[in-house]
Amino acid sequence: MKLSRREFLKRLGAFSLIGSAWGGSQSKTQAKSGLSGLPITDAHEHVSYQGRTLDVFDDLIERYPDFIARIKEAGLWDWFQRERQQAQPLAEAFSIWDTAGVSGCILLAGGFEREKPNFKYEFAELAQYILLDKYPNRFLIASTVDFSMMDEPDFSAKAVAHLEETYKKGCRGLGEIKLHPPYHHMPLDDPRLDPLWETCVRLKIPAHVHVAQPDRYWQPGGPYYRNPDIPSKQSLLDAFERVVKKHPNTTFIAVHMGTNPERLDYLARMLDAYKNYYLDTSAIVWVIEGLGKDPEAGRTFVTKYQDRIVFGGEPRNLRDYMDYRRFFETDETVRGYRGLKLPPEVLQKIYYQNIERLVPEVKHLRDR
Protein backbone atom coordinates (compact mmCIF):
# COMPACT_ATOMS: atom_id res chain seq x y z
CA MET A 1 0.00 0.00 0.00
CA LYS A 2 1.39 3.38 -1.02
CA LEU A 3 1.26 5.90 1.82
CA SER A 4 0.47 9.53 1.31
CA ARG A 5 3.21 11.95 2.40
CA ARG A 6 1.08 13.02 5.38
CA GLU A 7 0.43 9.44 6.49
CA PHE A 8 4.11 8.53 6.00
CA LEU A 9 5.19 11.32 8.32
CA LYS A 10 2.55 10.48 10.90
CA ARG A 11 3.81 6.92 11.05
CA LEU A 12 7.32 8.19 11.62
CA GLY A 13 5.97 10.28 14.48
CA ALA A 14 7.42 13.40 12.94
CA PHE A 15 4.50 15.35 11.50
CA SER A 16 4.01 17.45 14.60
CA LEU A 17 7.70 18.34 14.65
CA ILE A 18 8.40 19.42 11.12
CA GLY A 19 6.63 19.92 7.84
CA SER A 20 8.21 20.17 4.43
CA ALA A 21 11.50 21.85 5.17
CA TRP A 22 14.17 22.44 2.60
CA GLY A 23 15.39 24.94 0.06
CA GLY A 24 15.87 27.63 2.67
CA SER A 25 12.21 28.47 3.38
CA GLN A 26 10.97 27.78 6.87
CA SER A 27 7.64 26.02 7.42
CA LYS A 28 5.28 26.97 10.25
CA THR A 29 5.92 23.74 12.09
CA GLN A 30 9.67 24.25 11.82
CA ALA A 31 9.37 27.76 13.14
CA LYS A 32 7.48 26.42 16.16
CA SER A 33 10.16 23.85 16.76
CA GLY A 34 12.87 26.50 16.64
CA LEU A 35 14.68 24.88 13.70
CA SER A 36 16.28 26.93 10.96
CA GLY A 37 14.96 25.43 7.73
CA LEU A 38 18.46 25.79 6.22
CA PRO A 39 19.18 23.27 3.47
CA ILE A 40 21.64 20.47 4.14
CA THR A 41 24.01 18.73 1.76
CA ASP A 42 24.80 15.35 3.29
CA ALA A 43 28.44 14.64 2.43
CA HIS A 44 28.34 11.11 3.89
CA GLU A 45 25.74 8.69 2.58
CA HIS A 46 25.91 5.15 1.22
CA VAL A 47 23.94 2.97 -1.16
CA SER A 48 23.76 0.41 1.64
CA TYR A 49 23.65 1.25 5.34
CA GLN A 50 22.74 -0.86 8.38
CA GLY A 51 21.29 -3.65 6.28
CA ARG A 52 19.16 -1.44 4.01
CA THR A 53 20.10 -0.83 0.40
CA LEU A 54 18.51 1.81 -1.78
CA ASP A 55 16.25 -0.06 -4.17
CA VAL A 56 18.04 -0.10 -7.50
CA PHE A 57 17.77 -3.87 -7.97
CA ASP A 58 15.48 -3.85 -11.00
CA ASP A 59 17.82 -1.42 -12.72
CA LEU A 60 20.83 -3.57 -11.85
CA ILE A 61 19.18 -6.60 -13.43
CA GLU A 62 18.22 -4.64 -16.54
CA ARG A 63 21.43 -2.67 -17.05
CA TYR A 64 24.12 -5.11 -15.95
CA PRO A 65 23.14 -8.65 -17.03
CA ASP A 66 26.80 -9.75 -17.02
CA PHE A 67 27.13 -8.79 -13.35
CA ILE A 68 23.92 -10.66 -12.52
CA ALA A 69 25.15 -13.73 -14.40
CA ARG A 70 28.42 -13.74 -12.46
CA ILE A 71 26.55 -13.40 -9.17
CA LYS A 72 24.44 -16.43 -10.04
CA GLU A 73 27.50 -18.38 -11.13
CA ALA A 74 29.21 -17.59 -7.82
CA GLY A 75 26.21 -18.89 -5.85
CA LEU A 76 25.27 -15.45 -4.54
CA TRP A 77 21.83 -15.11 -6.09
CA ASP A 78 20.15 -15.84 -2.74
CA TRP A 79 22.21 -13.05 -1.15
CA PHE A 80 21.16 -10.68 -3.93
CA GLN A 81 17.48 -11.60 -3.44
CA ARG A 82 17.69 -11.12 0.35
CA GLU A 83 19.20 -7.67 -0.18
CA ARG A 84 16.42 -6.93 -2.64
CA GLN A 85 13.68 -7.94 -0.22
CA GLN A 86 15.09 -5.67 2.51
CA ALA A 87 15.71 -2.72 0.19
CA GLN A 88 14.60 0.79 1.06
CA PRO A 89 12.22 2.21 -1.56
CA LEU A 90 13.64 5.32 -3.15
CA ALA A 91 10.36 7.17 -2.57
CA GLU A 92 10.78 6.56 1.17
CA ALA A 93 14.36 7.81 1.17
CA PHE A 94 13.47 10.88 -0.90
CA SER A 95 10.61 11.72 1.47
CA ILE A 96 12.92 11.50 4.48
CA TRP A 97 15.54 13.69 2.85
CA ASP A 98 13.00 16.27 1.69
CA THR A 99 11.29 16.45 5.06
CA ALA A 100 14.62 16.79 6.88
CA GLY A 101 15.75 19.51 4.49
CA VAL A 102 18.46 17.44 2.81
CA SER A 103 18.71 18.80 -0.71
CA GLY A 104 21.30 16.28 -1.91
CA CYS A 105 23.80 13.61 -0.87
CA ILE A 106 27.29 12.47 -1.73
CA LEU A 107 27.27 8.67 -1.91
CA LEU A 108 30.50 7.18 -0.59
CA ALA A 109 31.34 3.84 -2.13
CA GLY A 110 31.43 0.64 -0.08
CA GLY A 111 32.87 -2.81 -0.60
CA PHE A 112 35.82 -2.91 1.78
CA GLU A 113 36.39 -6.67 1.71
CA ARG A 114 39.30 -8.52 0.12
CA GLU A 115 37.43 -11.50 -1.27
CA LYS A 116 37.86 -12.31 -4.95
CA PRO A 117 35.77 -11.59 -6.85
CA ASN A 118 34.78 -8.56 -4.77
CA PHE A 119 31.08 -8.49 -5.61
CA LYS A 120 30.13 -6.10 -2.81
CA TYR A 121 32.60 -3.54 -4.15
CA GLU A 122 31.26 -3.95 -7.69
CA PHE A 123 27.63 -3.91 -6.54
CA ALA A 124 28.06 -0.62 -4.66
CA GLU A 125 29.78 1.00 -7.61
CA LEU A 126 27.20 -0.07 -10.19
CA ALA A 127 24.35 1.01 -7.92
CA GLN A 128 25.94 4.45 -7.57
CA TYR A 129 26.17 4.86 -11.34
CA ILE A 130 22.48 4.04 -11.64
CA LEU A 131 21.51 6.61 -9.01
CA LEU A 132 23.72 9.30 -10.54
CA ASP A 133 22.27 8.63 -13.97
CA LYS A 134 18.63 8.60 -12.87
CA TYR A 135 18.77 11.31 -10.22
CA PRO A 136 21.62 13.73 -11.09
CA ASN A 137 19.95 16.48 -9.07
CA ARG A 138 19.90 14.30 -5.94
CA PHE A 139 23.32 12.67 -5.84
CA LEU A 140 27.03 13.06 -6.33
CA ILE A 141 29.14 9.93 -6.01
CA ALA A 142 32.65 8.96 -4.86
CA SER A 143 34.98 6.19 -5.96
CA THR A 144 36.93 3.76 -3.80
CA VAL A 145 39.60 1.07 -3.94
CA ASP A 146 39.29 -2.65 -4.64
CA PHE A 147 41.50 -4.10 -1.92
CA SER A 148 41.12 -7.60 -3.32
CA MET A 149 43.96 -6.56 -5.66
CA MET A 150 46.27 -5.24 -2.95
CA ASP A 151 48.85 -8.05 -3.24
CA GLU A 152 49.21 -7.68 -7.00
CA PRO A 153 52.43 -5.97 -8.12
CA ASP A 154 50.53 -3.36 -10.14
CA PHE A 155 47.96 -2.62 -7.41
CA SER A 156 48.80 1.10 -7.22
CA ALA A 157 48.69 1.59 -10.98
CA LYS A 158 45.36 -0.23 -11.25
CA ALA A 159 43.88 1.72 -8.35
CA VAL A 160 44.91 5.03 -9.91
CA ALA A 161 43.58 4.00 -13.32
CA HIS A 162 40.29 3.02 -11.74
CA LEU A 163 40.00 6.35 -9.92
CA GLU A 164 40.67 8.21 -13.16
CA GLU A 165 38.09 6.12 -14.99
CA THR A 166 35.42 6.65 -12.35
CA TYR A 167 36.17 10.37 -12.32
CA LYS A 168 35.27 10.46 -16.01
CA LYS A 169 32.00 8.74 -15.10
CA GLY A 170 31.11 11.40 -12.55
CA CYS A 171 32.86 10.48 -9.28
CA ARG A 172 33.94 13.56 -7.35
CA GLY A 173 35.67 12.04 -4.36
CA LEU A 174 37.72 9.07 -3.18
CA GLY A 175 36.20 7.05 -0.39
CA GLU A 176 35.11 6.02 1.99
CA ILE A 177 38.54 4.49 2.53
CA LYS A 178 38.25 2.09 5.46
CA LEU A 179 41.43 0.50 6.74
CA HIS A 180 40.54 0.21 10.41
CA PRO A 181 39.76 -3.19 11.99
CA PRO A 182 38.18 -5.40 10.72
CA TYR A 183 39.32 -3.98 7.37
CA HIS A 184 42.93 -3.47 8.39
CA HIS A 185 44.28 -4.82 5.12
CA MET A 186 47.22 -2.41 5.11
CA PRO A 187 48.26 0.63 7.14
CA LEU A 188 46.87 3.94 5.94
CA ASP A 189 50.43 5.17 5.41
CA ASP A 190 51.33 2.22 3.18
CA PRO A 191 53.33 3.68 0.26
CA ARG A 192 51.17 1.75 -2.21
CA LEU A 193 48.42 4.29 -1.50
CA ASP A 194 50.61 7.35 -2.10
CA PRO A 195 49.79 7.54 -5.84
CA LEU A 196 46.08 7.58 -4.99
CA TRP A 197 46.41 10.49 -2.60
CA GLU A 198 48.36 12.42 -5.24
CA THR A 199 45.80 11.58 -7.92
CA CYS A 200 43.20 13.28 -5.74
CA VAL A 201 45.26 16.46 -5.99
CA ARG A 202 45.42 16.25 -9.77
CA LEU A 203 41.68 15.57 -10.07
CA LYS A 204 40.87 18.20 -7.42
CA ILE A 205 38.74 15.83 -5.34
CA PRO A 206 38.79 15.09 -1.58
CA ALA A 207 39.60 11.77 0.04
CA HIS A 208 37.07 10.62 2.67
CA VAL A 209 38.87 8.44 5.22
CA HIS A 210 37.56 6.36 8.14
CA VAL A 211 40.56 6.00 10.46
CA ALA A 212 39.53 4.20 13.66
CA GLN A 213 36.62 3.27 15.94
CA PRO A 214 35.26 4.60 19.26
CA ASP A 215 37.53 4.41 22.30
CA ARG A 216 35.24 1.85 23.94
CA TYR A 217 36.24 -0.76 21.34
CA TRP A 218 39.67 -0.94 22.99
CA GLN A 219 38.39 -0.76 26.58
CA PRO A 220 37.33 -3.65 28.87
CA GLY A 221 34.33 -5.37 27.33
CA GLY A 222 35.09 -3.97 23.89
CA PRO A 223 35.76 -6.19 20.86
CA TYR A 224 39.42 -5.10 20.55
CA TYR A 225 40.34 -5.17 24.25
CA ARG A 226 43.77 -6.76 24.69
CA ASN A 227 43.60 -8.31 21.24
CA PRO A 228 47.22 -8.64 20.04
CA ASP A 229 46.08 -8.80 16.42
CA ILE A 230 44.40 -5.39 16.58
CA PRO A 231 46.54 -2.24 16.39
CA SER A 232 45.91 0.42 19.01
CA LYS A 233 43.66 3.33 18.18
CA GLN A 234 46.55 5.74 18.62
CA SER A 235 48.66 3.82 16.10
CA LEU A 236 45.84 4.11 13.54
CA LEU A 237 45.54 7.85 14.17
CA ASP A 238 49.33 8.26 13.95
CA ALA A 239 49.47 6.46 10.60
CA PHE A 240 46.82 8.77 9.19
CA GLU A 241 48.61 11.85 10.51
CA ARG A 242 51.71 10.75 8.62
CA VAL A 243 49.62 10.55 5.45
CA VAL A 244 48.08 14.00 5.97
CA LYS A 245 51.54 15.46 6.61
CA LYS A 246 53.15 13.70 3.64
CA HIS A 247 50.45 14.87 1.20
CA PRO A 248 49.81 18.53 2.10
CA ASN A 249 48.01 19.27 -1.18
CA THR A 250 45.49 16.45 -0.78
CA THR A 251 42.22 17.39 0.90
CA PHE A 252 41.38 14.77 3.52
CA ILE A 253 37.92 14.61 5.08
CA ALA A 254 38.28 12.55 8.26
CA VAL A 255 34.81 11.07 8.69
CA HIS A 256 32.99 10.69 12.02
CA MET A 257 34.74 13.77 13.43
CA GLY A 258 38.09 12.24 12.69
CA THR A 259 36.92 9.03 14.43
CA ASN A 260 38.06 10.74 17.62
CA PRO A 261 35.30 13.07 18.87
CA GLU A 262 36.14 11.88 22.39
CA ARG A 263 39.26 14.08 22.21
CA LEU A 264 38.60 17.58 20.96
CA ASP A 265 42.15 18.51 21.93
CA TYR A 266 43.49 15.99 19.41
CA LEU A 267 41.17 17.29 16.67
CA ALA A 268 42.15 20.89 17.41
CA ARG A 269 45.83 20.00 17.14
CA MET A 270 45.27 18.28 13.78
CA LEU A 271 43.20 21.16 12.43
CA ASP A 272 45.80 23.69 13.54
CA ALA A 273 48.72 21.72 12.14
CA TYR A 274 47.27 20.62 8.78
CA LYS A 275 45.24 22.95 6.59
CA ASN A 276 44.30 20.01 4.34
CA TYR A 277 42.52 18.19 7.21
CA TYR A 278 38.73 18.42 7.48
CA LEU A 279 36.04 16.66 9.53
CA ASP A 280 32.57 15.36 8.82
CA THR A 281 29.83 14.93 11.43
CA SER A 282 28.58 11.43 10.55
CA ALA A 283 27.84 8.80 13.24
CA ILE A 284 25.26 10.69 15.27
CA VAL A 285 25.55 8.93 18.65
CA TRP A 286 29.35 9.14 18.63
CA VAL A 287 29.42 12.77 17.52
CA ILE A 288 26.71 14.05 19.87
CA GLU A 289 28.39 12.33 22.80
CA GLY A 290 31.79 13.76 21.89
CA LEU A 291 30.60 17.33 21.34
CA GLY A 292 27.82 17.28 23.93
CA LYS A 293 29.57 15.95 27.03
CA ASP A 294 30.79 19.53 27.56
CA PRO A 295 28.46 21.62 25.37
CA GLU A 296 30.32 24.87 25.95
CA ALA A 297 33.58 23.26 24.84
CA GLY A 298 31.78 21.62 21.93
CA ARG A 299 30.24 24.89 20.81
CA THR A 300 33.57 26.71 21.13
CA PHE A 301 35.31 23.99 19.09
CA VAL A 302 32.76 23.95 16.27
CA THR A 303 32.63 27.75 16.14
CA LYS A 304 36.42 28.05 16.00
CA TYR A 305 36.74 25.45 13.22
CA GLN A 306 33.52 26.31 11.40
CA ASP A 307 35.35 26.44 8.05
CA ARG A 308 36.73 22.90 8.42
CA ILE A 309 33.65 20.85 9.27
CA VAL A 310 31.15 19.44 6.75
CA PHE A 311 27.82 17.84 7.48
CA GLY A 312 27.78 14.07 7.25
CA GLY A 313 24.58 12.34 8.22
CA GLU A 314 24.57 8.73 7.03
CA PRO A 315 21.34 7.88 8.89
CA ARG A 316 18.62 7.67 6.20
CA ASN A 317 15.96 7.92 8.88
CA LEU A 318 14.07 11.03 9.88
CA ARG A 319 14.68 10.85 13.62
CA ASP A 320 18.46 11.00 13.24
CA TYR A 321 18.37 13.90 10.81
CA MET A 322 16.05 15.86 13.07
CA ASP A 323 18.20 15.09 16.11
CA TYR A 324 21.21 16.42 14.21
CA ARG A 325 19.31 19.64 13.56
CA ARG A 326 18.10 19.93 17.15
CA PHE A 327 21.60 19.30 18.50
CA PHE A 328 23.28 21.84 16.24
CA GLU A 329 20.51 24.45 16.21
CA THR A 330 18.99 24.46 19.72
CA ASP A 331 20.00 24.05 23.35
CA GLU A 332 17.44 21.29 23.89
CA THR A 333 18.54 17.98 25.36
CA VAL A 334 19.18 15.58 22.48
CA ARG A 335 19.93 11.95 23.36
CA GLY A 336 21.03 12.98 26.82
CA TYR A 337 23.21 15.92 25.80
CA ARG A 338 22.47 19.63 25.57
CA GLY A 339 22.50 21.08 22.08
CA LEU A 340 25.11 23.55 20.83
CA LYS A 341 22.73 26.23 19.51
CA LEU A 342 25.10 27.34 16.77
CA PRO A 343 24.51 30.69 15.05
CA PRO A 344 23.07 30.67 11.50
CA GLU A 345 26.34 31.73 9.88
CA VAL A 346 28.08 28.68 11.38
CA LEU A 347 25.23 26.34 10.44
CA GLN A 348 25.34 27.50 6.82
CA LYS A 349 29.02 26.63 6.57
CA ILE A 350 28.59 23.19 8.10
CA TYR A 351 25.35 22.34 6.30
CA TYR A 352 26.42 23.21 2.76
CA GLN A 353 28.94 26.02 2.20
CA ASN A 354 32.08 24.12 3.22
CA ILE A 355 31.38 21.06 1.08
CA GLU A 356 30.49 23.32 -1.86
CA ARG A 357 33.92 24.94 -1.49
CA LEU A 358 35.65 21.54 -1.47
CA VAL A 359 33.47 19.98 -4.18
CA PRO A 360 32.02 22.80 -6.30
CA GLU A 361 29.95 20.39 -8.39
CA VAL A 362 27.79 19.65 -5.35
CA LYS A 363 26.24 23.12 -5.44
CA HIS A 364 23.71 22.16 -8.11
CA LEU A 365 22.07 19.76 -5.65
CA ARG A 366 21.00 22.71 -3.54
CA ASP A 367 19.98 24.76 -6.56
CA ARG A 368 17.55 22.23 -7.97
Model confidence, pTM:
0.90
Encode 19-75 in three state secondary structure: CCCCCCCCCHHHHHHCCCCCCEEEEEECCEECCEEECCHHHHHHHCHHHHHHHHHCC
Query: What secondary structure, in 3-state letters, does the chain show?
Result: CCCCHHHHHHHHCCCCCCCCCCCCCCCHHHHHHCCCCCCEEEEEECCEECCEEECCHHHHHHHCHHHHHHHHHCCCHHHHHHHHHCCECHHHHHHHHHHHCEEEEEECCCCCCCCCCCHHHHHHHHHHHHHHHHCCCCEEEEECCCHHHCCCCCHHHHHHHHHHHHHHCCEEEEEEEECCCCCCCCCCCCHHHHHHHHHHHHHCCCEEEECCCCHHHHCCCCCCCCCCCCCCHHHHHHHHHHHHHHCCCCCEEEHHHHCCCCCHHHHHHHHHHCCCEEEECCCHHHHHHHHHCCHHHHHHHHHHCCCCEECCCCCCCHHHHHHHHHHHHCCCEECCEECCCCCHHHHHHHHHHHHHHHCHHHHHHHHC
- Spatial CA neighbour of 9 closest among 103, 102, 99, 86: 99
Please state the φ and ψ torsions of residue 354, each to the nearest 5 degrees: -65, -45
Give the whole-angstrom CA distance, residue 244 versus residue 277.
7
Domains of the chain from N-terminus onward = 5-51+93-367 (3.20.20.140)
Q: pLDDT tens per residue, the chain (368 residues)?
A: 333 433 433 333 333 333 333 333 343 334 445 799 999 999 999 998 877 899 999 999 999 999 999 999 999 999 999 999 999 999 999 999 999 999 999 999 876 677 788 888 899 999 999 999 999 999 999 998 988 889 999 999 999 999 999 999 999 999 999 988 888 888 999 999 999 999 999 999 999 999 999 999 999 999 999 999 899 999 999 999 999 999 999 999 999 999 999 999 999 999 999 999 999 999 999 999 999 999 999 999 999 999 999 999 987 789 999 999 999 999 999 999 999 999 999 999 999 999 999 999 999 999 86
Q: How far is CA 325 from CA 129, 143, 288, in A?
A: 30, 28, 11
Helices 5-12 and 318-329, axial angle in degrees (round to 10): 70
